[in-house]
A and B are shown apart, each in its own frame.
Chain A
Amino acid sequence: MSEAAPVIDLDGLGVRFGRHQVLDDLRGAFSGRAIGLLGPNGAGKTTLLNTLLGFYKPSAGTARLFGMDIQAQGRELRRRIGYMPERDAFIAGISGVRFVRLMGELSGLPSEAALERAHEVFFYVGLGEARYRNVETYSLGMKQLLKLAQGIVHGPGLLFLDEPTNGLDPPARLRMLRLIREIRDSGKARIVVSSHLLRDVEECCEEALVLNRGRIATYCNLAEERRANRRFLELDLAAEREGAGSGFRAAIEGLGCEVAVVNRRRIKAVLPPGVTVRHIYASAIEQDVTIRRLDHKRTSLEDIFLKAMEGDDGRL
């Protein structure tokens, strides 16, 4: 498994169920620490995850994870992958810790190591006290955490999370997102989160791949988008004296900002490196201009998503 290779490398990947083309000619290389898979229901997110896991055979093309082919090296890859399915999935009649231990052993861990890891992951996801309870008695939120626990028990290098916050109440959702961010920041595992909840992806992913009708609608680097947003300013001004507004524009242009005038009281500016909002306020004081409102540009993931969902005629 080459760490330098892209996490996901799609090479004309297509999946067809009968006459229904579910995924069509997906191409691209994605390397983020946490990649969000977005799309409306039926866009092909879960099918893409299942195909990468080897559950479905591609009808065209192929894909590579960390440079390893999903078909030729599927078994070896699955040893390094953790998977949290969307729907309830468990083995009935056994305790939580035994269930997770079994999953660890199936991933190749020796029995004792699997037991040790099972206890550890139970405490890690916050189910430590419930680990000896039968999994059938777990609540919905606990089952979600249990699914995460079985997905990470073998310390995978790549973690597929399919709708990880499904059915969770707000505190449980926050806890799940915190765990995902923690795993991401640990640098021990790359994460692919499939979700139709933009907020979840925005909160824990650095990149987003938007699917629509089985095709890639757009791909964006959320971290860069956030950085770019912070450099873009929209200002509402109140000039105390005649000509102060134009003087202020000239002053910030002098700082190296690109400035666009929307109207007499509103301007937009892009800050160059080294120039901060503090410099803008200083110029305003010098030019005797009051800044009534200062906003960073807010191109949210929702904007990106909606734009990606637009048809050629501009309709959703």
Chain B
Amino acid sequence: MAVYDHGYRGYSGPLMPARTRFLVISRYGLRDVFASKLFLAFFAFCFAWPLVLLVAMYLRYNAEALALINLDSADLLEFVQVNTWFFQNLFLRAQLYLAFIVVLVVGPSLVSADLRNRAMPLYLSRPLTRTDYVLGKLVVLGVLVSAITWAPGLLLFVIQASLGGREWLLEHWRIAPSLVLLSAVWTLGMSLPMLAIAAWVKWKPWARIVFMGAVLTGTAFGEFYKQFYDSWLGSMVVAFDVTDALSDAVFGVESPGEMPAAAAWAAVAGLAALSAALLYRRVRAFEVVK
């Protein structure tokens, strides 16, 4: 079947392992995402804040550089305390807002077009399961979110550890796994609902609107419930409250909110389970009409 030989022939060459086949979907997904120059520019912008923090960290330990810009190192040491709060609030909280936008922009384009153009039979007629398909799409969001959350976070952590020394590292070692864990849980908690909504709505702009609507409606309802019944239960549907409670639990700091960490974990697990169920109802080769 070579280009010059127009006859049919089979394929008897080597095959890739089946277990990692879902990564093909991820690879193609990522390439499509970065084909957009606008997204590429936004993604580059996502690294601006970590860069600012990196510069601040560097200056904090470099008196000569500070002198060049007429700053007193004592002032900066006072102003930029590189501790758990720095990584949890100054770095990760800001990055999670950007990650929310990434999920909102990229998520719908991963699934809705496949369902709208009836591509599912093509995927599932290959040695690929529905779980592989969903996993492949989740990895795309996972890579993007990781690249702007825990990956630069760990880089900042390593640099700070090298600047701050052994004492600082022993005191703050928990920051590193916390960055990874919170980012991973947050990615799952946001990506699965986004993919589920995209699978049901099948049209990207509408999927984004529905997702935003769900977040805002949850927040409004939760805040109303909290005020009206004077109960933290309303926080279960407020994305920011759940994120804060989880964040405090993971980083091991005292939470100013009333919501218990167990409730936050339950809220994320429930949301992920519901989203996965909804997603699996849609991600199939053909709709069965009973």
Contact = CB atoms under 8 A, between A and B. Distances in A.
B21 A108 contact: yes
Interface of A: 17-20, 50, 53-56, 75-76, 78-79, 81, 83, 85, 87-94, 98, 102-103, 105-110, 113, 117, 119-121, 123-124, 128, 150, 152, 154-157, 160, 182-183, 186, 188-189
Interface string B1-38: 11100111111111110100100110010001000000
Nearest to B1: A120
Contacts, number: 133
Given A56-B288, A85-B118, A103 B32 contact: no
Nearest to A91: B119
Contact of B1 (A17, A55, A124): A124
Contact of A107 (B14, B124, B127, B286): B127
Contacts of B52: none
Contacts of B32: 93-94
Contacts of A98: 28
A106 B21 contact: yes
A193 to B, nearest CB: 16
Contacts of B116: 92
A76 B121 contact: no
Contacts of A119: 3
Given A85-B122, A106-B126, A113 B8 contact: no
A93 B9 contact: no
20 contacts: A55-B121, A55-B284, A55-B285, A89-B117, A89-B119, A90-B119, A91-B119, A92-B116, A92-B117, A102-B28, A106-B127, A107-B127, A108-B18, A108-B127, A117-B1, A120-B3, A123-B1, A124-B6, A160-B125, A189-B10
Interface residues of B, number: 41
A181 B122 CA distance: 23
A98 B24 CA distance: 12
A282 B119 CA distance: 63
Contacts of A53: 121, 124-125, 285
Contacts of A17: 288-290
